[in-house]
Structure 1
């Protein structure tokens, strides 16, 4: 269905191709997963399938890409629209209408389908993706995860032969991600749709893949094969595979179910050992009583956004040095809570204090010294023409020594050049740059909205290292995340929101172990033992005689 013949893509005056040596075939009716570290060219490869490369993004395409027999060099995206459906990393940039139902119908209108066919397909898609209650909602009022589901639905209504998806579950909560992946499975198995997707959260999707394509490094030739065989050599792999490598299991398990079948001996070795390090080493809420102050104190908070009561009766205190993970379904109010702490919303009830100030009544430049927010869309913070210019501006805004921001960028993104334009970075790279810009001011309270969206496991590990160091220095961290593995690795405390209310608040181990939706892979494999992460298991095994 998809054929790459010695494909390479080079952008502008780049010293090396973004991808090269791509020679492979994706068979019809299979789910093929594209994996690799951030910046190796996964998005470029996907865009070559839809014709966006080179017709829209520019650059030089060498070799040949054919989809259902059509050569993408001679067929621009509009002539591939009935064959290839594409969902990018940023759904908002793809929307062309105002409401959910109109967006689902737009692609079919462009193809000239009959009104009765359009109506039936819209209804089917609303049910498939759990969007029926949102059909009349303006797109601008949706959460990031809801937008992602609408973007996927707008592609599904045209019934393409090939679906190309870039990070399709990155903005979704675990339950919503499972729903989307179940839909993709149904399309592959029942309709013979060919699905090519790139995803960093491999713990969600690798067990569903028929084939895996690995791009091991920038410019390196890809490897393609059975998922277990590729995971055995891949530099990026989910926790269940890391646990299998640690335990010496062969073949490596790809799902929790497969791992549990192999884990009897490992559970016996761990019985009686003590689990250490459920998250970071920061202070707990009791530290507030000792220090006499807290970076953030919320009491009886209510926030309305239009007709929606986004938050209600929220009480929360964040202690110095504490790392707190906000979790919950898409639309539960996590992002609203962060933006309220950053002064972007006026409470309708209750109070919010950040560093002793009321955020929405404090001038932004003064508030910068007390709280920093890294939003879901990092481009909102990036406006310069180069990475170096962004870093220079960040140093000046924060009155920090020259080179402070650039040093942070180097820790998070070792291979990013000063002269690169932020728009040419991958989604994960842009997020890391935005994080470095905010961290330059070293605010006592740091807010991060989906901080691992678009990051591979190595980049996530570097991020965790930076955030742990900040917590150890006394910075309070509040993360809104659907990444259960990040919460298990980093957070001291987890707060779960539902319908704008706090429904759980406690130490990470207690909260996530009691929730099937928010439990990390290791805890599911080793239950009822209390381990959450592979490093915890490794330390326990090293301590055993």
Structure 2
């Protein structure tokens, strides 16, 4: 279905091609997962399939990409729209209408599909993606995960033969991600749709892949069986990491496969427990008291009580639309409470001047471009140093530490999603605020970049900063958070040590906990340390 013939892409002024000598065929009716570290060209590869590369991105495409016989060099994206449906990392950038139902219908209108067929397909897609209750909602009022589902639905309604998806579950809670992946499987298995996708959260998707395309910065692309390539891939999900630590061969790709192999490992770990982090007993740096907040006619937060302590990292979890981003916004002064109180680092956020608040409370929003306004990475970093009173070069050093290799001369809009997030994180963290608020801080980051972020946040917590991160990344919560708070319908339904809260929930439990239950292990690093310690 998709043929790459000696494909390489070279951008203007780049020292080397982004892709080099790619030669393979993605068969019809299969799900192909593209994996590799950040910056190896995964998004560029996806863009060659619908003609975005090079017709809109610039650069030079060498070789040939054909989709169902059409050469993408000779057909622009609009001429491939009936064949290839594509959803990028930023769903908002794809929207052209104001509400959910109109957005689902727009692509079909452009293709001249009859109203009767359009109506039926819209209804089918609303049901498939769990969007029926949102059909009349304005797109601007949806949560990030809800917007992602609408973006996927808007291309599904045109019934393309090929779906190209760039991190389709990155903004979704675990339950919604499973729904989307179930839909993709149905399309592949029942309708013969060919799916080409990237996803940094491999723990969600690798078990569904028929083929894996592995891209690395220092070697040729490899295409083949998922288990075989996960054995050599520099990026891999926790269940594969557990298999590597335990010496299993072949490696498991799913929790079910791992549990079938785990009896000897459970026996080896029986009687041991991972280190326990003592609870923080210092006075809180921020408090929320009986907070109720409306956005529109309905309350988004209902009587929320929360205290955040210096030196403590708290994960805020819950399904899309539960109120996580709104709670972070209230702590950052973006929203005025309808009732209740918010105190952050001694300030009432919504009444404080931004210049005063920025050094006490730092928020990285779900859309990092909202923080970026300069023309280059260098200028952005220099502005962050100036605004926060930090030594020159502080922000740029943090960028280099979190994600090496970002070009200083690039405009922030030309960065990848992960690079843009890294820059926004660095801008906020340069001020080293007392309270650090992060909304989906690992979206677009690979496992190595996440590990570097974990190290930085642990150092900040050790220095006495309070960290609250809203996330759907259950593996991040298990690895990093001392405490986990779960929101549902604007109310806190669980609050306690991460080891207790995430294990008690099958939705929010990490892969290692599911494999080794009922033992109290959460992460591969805990298990590897125990296996290496004979005591």
Task: Please classify the TM superposition score into its range, dividing by the shorter chain length.
Answer: over 0.9
For residues 454-533 of structure 1, the aligned pairs below 5 Å read 454-533=444-523
Alignment size in residue pairs: 535
Q: Distance in 2 between matches of 1:217 and 1:211?
A: 20
Corresponding residue for residue 229 of structure 1: 228
Q: Distance in 1 between matches of 2:281 and 2:462?
A: 16
Q: Gaps (5+ residues) in structure 2?
A: none
Give secondary structure in 2 for the equivalent of 1:8.
strand
For residues 36-435 of structure 1, the aligned pairs below 5 Å read 36-217=36-217, 220-276=219-275, 284-288=279-283, 294-435=284-425
1:153 is displaced (CA, Å) by 0.4
Q: Gaps (5+ residues) in structure 1?
A: 289-293
Q: Distance in 2 between matches of 1:544 and 1:130?
A: 49
Give secondary structure in 2 for the equivalent of 1:439.
helix
> Is this contact kept in 1: 2:108–2:118, CA < 8 A?
yes
Q: Distance in 1 between matches of 2:532 and 2:45?
A: 42
1:285 is displaced (CA, Å) by 4.7
Instruction: Please provide the CA RMSD for this pair.
Output: 1.0
Q: Distance in 1 between matches of 2:46 and 2:291?
A: 44
1:112 is displaced (CA, Å) by 0.5
Q: Distance in 2 between matches of 1:363 and 1:348?
A: 20
Give secondary structure in 1 for the equivalent of 2:532.
helix
1:34 is displaced (CA, Å) by 0.3
Corresponding residue for residue 291 of structure 1: none
1:275 is displaced (CA, Å) by 1.3
1:125 is displaced (CA, Å) by 0.3
> Is this contact kept in 2: 1:488–1:533, CA < 8 A?
yes
TM score, norm. by length of structure 2: 0.99
1:541 is displaced (CA, Å) by 1.5
Per-residue deviation, residues 340-390 of structure 1 (Å, max 9, x unmatched): 100000000100001111000001110011100011111111122221111
> Is this contact kept in 2: 1:284–1:319, CA < 8 A?
no
1:464 is displaced (CA, Å) by 0.2
Q: Distance in 2 between matches of 1:56 and 1:541?
A: 51
Q: Distance in 1 between matches of 2:416 and 2:212?
A: 21
> Is this contact kept in 1: 2:280–2:311, CA < 8 A?
no
1:11 is displaced (CA, Å) by 1.4
Q: Distance in 1 between matches of 2:267 and 2:521?
A: 13
Q: Distance in 2 between matches of 1:37 and 1:421?
A: 22
Give secondary structure in 2 for the equivalent of 1:345.
coil
Q: Distance in 1 between matches of 2:293 and 2:13?
A: 49
1:307 is displaced (CA, Å) by 1.7
